[in-house]
């Protein structure tokens, strides 16, 4: 918007006396587009229907692509959610479906593929009983392959606080992060870098206040206080939780997982395979079977 000098005479401000100014404006045509989230002093002007100061001409409501009921649900099976960004959109598909519109149904296989903003959230009591048992034992095993030099593998968060434990890859190293109320610690588990596109074996064993991390037969022992009332994330977290925990530089895993077991040695040899666990998860996003 141009500025007008109020100290000028009215005749000087008249556009008729400034043909050059008229020529500039004649080169512009009215905008043919959609706008959203217009804020003035932290208030969204478009959401205030009682705002009498808004006057428009030849303006209609824009229908975003995500407002279409079947944009990410072509199959009619609640296969995904539509997320918009300006005039673009992305379908976040639930487990077992992929494609631009979540229209492709995956077939069962041995690998679980994480990509972009994928994550899996476990808060199902049937699964968490294997984690929060009376012996305070947690035994996790997974084989993973990464295509990038960073990505979240596990994140265990307290339900009632911002305390969490995270195992992730950063700059090619396996990093252990512990966040308490006023303390945040980063520990490089191994100096040897993880090679992209190669399978790795990861075991995490927790008992009482000790945690043992084994990466490809290299072992690191640490002390930690586990919280039984937890939510378990695999392969990443939601964008909301990422901002809430300050995980600005931590992205979801871009790669594959297989042979995922929880407390295999402490459930009477009752193995929970990865397909069953992933189907029991209460929230999944952009996870494919390949």
Mean pLDDT by runs of 10 across the 290 residues of the chain is: 47 53 60 66 61 57 64 75 73 75 71 80 66 63 90 87 87 87 76 87 82 86 70 86 81 86 52 52 65
- Relative to beta strand 151-158, strand 200-207 is unpaired
Alpha helices in the chain, H assignment, sequence order: 10-13, 19-26, 125-128, 239-244, 274-280
* Residue 185 CB partners (closer than 8 Å, separation 6+): 177, 178, 179
Which distant-in-sequence residues (6+ apart) come within 8 Å of 222 by Cβ? 176, 187, 210, 211, 212, 213
Give every CB contact of residue 218 below 8 A, 6+ residues apart in sequence.
Answer: 190, 192
* Measured distance CA(49)–CA(238) in Å, rounded: 32
Read off the DSSP letter of residue 107: P
Distance CA 265, CA 145 (A): 24
Is the Cα torsion angle 100, 103, 109, 114 positive or negative in sign? positive
Query: Of all helices (H) and strands (E), which one includes residue 249?
Result: none
User: Residue ranges per domain, the chain?
Assistant: 35-48+59-109, 114-278
CA distance linking residue 213 with residue 219, whole number of Å = 6
Find where tokens 């960073």 sit.
150
Provide the token pair at 62. Answer: 């824009």
Q: How far is CA 131 from the centre of its chain?
A: 23
Sign of the four-CA dihedral 190, 195, 201, 203: positive
CA pseudo-torsion sign 245, 204, 253, 189: positive
**Which of 266, 173, 174, 179 shows the shortest CA–CA distance to 230?**
179
C-alpha to C-alpha distance for 113 and 290, rounded to whole angstroms: 6
Q: Is the dihedral of CA 66, 70, 75, 76 positive or negative?
A: positive
**Hey, what CATH topology would domain 114-278 get?**
Jelly Rolls (2.60.120)
**Which residue intervals of 50-192 are DSSP H helices?**
125-128
pLDDT at 169: 92
Domain 35-48+59-109 -> CATH class:
mainly beta
Measured CA to CA, the distance from residue 235 to residue 178 in angstroms comes to: 17
pLDDT of residue 11: 47
Tokens of 100: 């631009």
């Amino acid at each position: 918007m141009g500025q007008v000098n109020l100290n000028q005479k009215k005749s000087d401000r008249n556009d008729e006396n400034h043909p050059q100014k008229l020529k500039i404006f004649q080169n512009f045509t009215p905008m043919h587009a959609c706008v959203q989230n217009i804020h003035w002093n932290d208030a969204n002007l478009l959401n205030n229907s009682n705002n009498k100061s808004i006057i428009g001409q030849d303006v209609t409501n824009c229908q975003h692509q995500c407002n279409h009921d079947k944009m990410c649900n072509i199959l009619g099976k609640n296969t995904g959610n539509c997320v918009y960004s300006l005039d673009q959109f992305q379908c976040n598909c639930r487990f077992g479906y992929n494609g631009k519109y979540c229209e492709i149904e995956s077939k069962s296989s041995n690998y679980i593929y994480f990509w972009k903003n994928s994550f899996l959230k476990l808060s199902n009591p049937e699964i968490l009983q294997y984690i929060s048992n009376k012996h305070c034992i947690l035994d996790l095993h997974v084989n993973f392959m990464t295509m990038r030099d960073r990505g979240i593998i596990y994140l265990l968060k307290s339900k009632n606080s911002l305390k969490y434990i995270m195992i992730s890859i950063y700059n090619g190293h396996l990093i252990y992060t512990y966040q308490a109320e006023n303390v945040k610690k980063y520990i490089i588990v191994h100096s040897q870098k993880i090679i992209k596109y190669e399978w790795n074996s990861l075991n995490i064993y927790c008992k009482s206040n000790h945690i043992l991390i084994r990466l490809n037969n290299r072992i690191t022992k640490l002390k930690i206080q586990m919280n039984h009332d937890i939510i378990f994330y695999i392969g990443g977290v939601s964008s909301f939780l990422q901002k809430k925990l300050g995980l600005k530089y931590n992205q979801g895993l871009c790669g594959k997982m297989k042979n995922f077991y929880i407390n295999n040695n402490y459930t009477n040899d009752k193995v929970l395979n990865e397909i069953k666990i992933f189907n029991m998860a209460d929230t999944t996003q952009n996870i494919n079977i390949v």
